[in-house]
Amino acid sequence: MTPHFATPAPSLTVFVEGIGLLGPGLSGWDQGRTQLQGSLPYQTARSILPLPMALPPAERRRAGAVVRVSLAIGQEAVTASGLQASLLPSVFSSSSGDAINCHEICSALASSDRLISPTRFHNSVHNASSGYWSISSASMASSSVLCAHDASFSAGLLEAMTQVAVEQTAVLLIAYDTDYPEPLRSVRPLPDTFGIALVLAPRRSERSLAHWSLVPATCFTSVAADGLADAALEQLRKSIPAARGLPLLRSVALQSQGEVVLDYLDNLQLAVQVAPCR
């Protein structure tokens, strides 16, 4: 009998077509790129979340921080990619979802009347930002919504890269977190709202910024995750799960080649092979 050898799983390869970035002291990818390069000093400040003007007025009034950050970074990344938002499948990943809305619902339940606003209730589901994105972009494409606690950025990246490889289509990844007010803040101390969006494609284009790949046999490692030289940016990376992706953005900003190791599960990191396209 001829022995059967399993065929090695192919690498997951994507091209970065667009980036969106918003967080404390970070107003977009253009500014963030210079700060990650070290060309512009990083100074922390409260996140400024723009109104989601792509939403109809009624939905715009209901939009909280999680919707504002998701739509802002998603639109920035898609605009940079030159692709059509309505046609892009999406992956949304967050460690906590709408933390502020969760606080308000808990406060209502702890009050004497225990009445919950219908708007707060429908915004409490973990896929709320995905729904608002589909409204704002008129998208009927598929959308996946993930949560993996502090590993949520890497889990979202794995899902998005897998979809690109399997479906051979561009995919939008939106990873975000919002901060809890007290008393939840004392047990989940996220300091502010932060988000990263990436448009990932299966083929290189004239807009491609970088080439990333994951080799299934070697992409999971116990090597410590890469940090950031700037102390304030490193604190941001460590304090908000969505910001765990900042070392990848730094590799794009520096047009570097090699390996970037990201935080993932306990005692397990994710190693991404990176190369510039420009």
Calculate mean pLDDT across residues 219-224.
94
- pLDDT tens digit sequence for 124-149: 788 889 988 998 999 999 999 999 99
Give the Cα separation of 182 and 243 in Å (integer).
Answer: 22
Give the Cα separation of 103 and 134 in Å (integer).
Answer: 25
CATH number, residue 201: 3.40.47.10
- pLDDT tens digit sequence for 41-63: 999 999 999 888 888 887 887 78
In a domain, 275, yes or no: no
Please, what is the average pLDDT of the chain?
Answer: 92
Taking 70 as the threshold, does the pLDDT of residue 273 lie above it? yes
Taking 80 as the threshold, does the pLDDT of residue 7 lie above it? no
- Report the predicted TM-score, pTM, of the whole model to 2 decimal places: 0.93
Domain boundaries, position 70: 13-207
Total domain count, the chain: 1
Calculate mean pLDDT across residues 267-275.
96
Taking 80 as the threshold, does the pLDDT of residue 1 lie above it? no
- Measure the CA angle with vertex 187, ends 233 and 121; round to 5°: 100
In a domain, 267, yes or no: no
In a domain, 19, yes or no: yes
The pLDDT of residue 202:
98
The pLDDT of residue 97:
83
**Tokens (6 digits) for 6:** 């399993």
DSSP, res 216: T
In a domain, 235, yes or no: no
Could you tell me if 80 and 201 are in contact, meaning their C-beta atoms sit under 8 angstroms apart?
no
Calculate mean pLDDT across residues 181-209.
95
Give the Cα separation of 55 and 89 in Å (integer).
Answer: 19
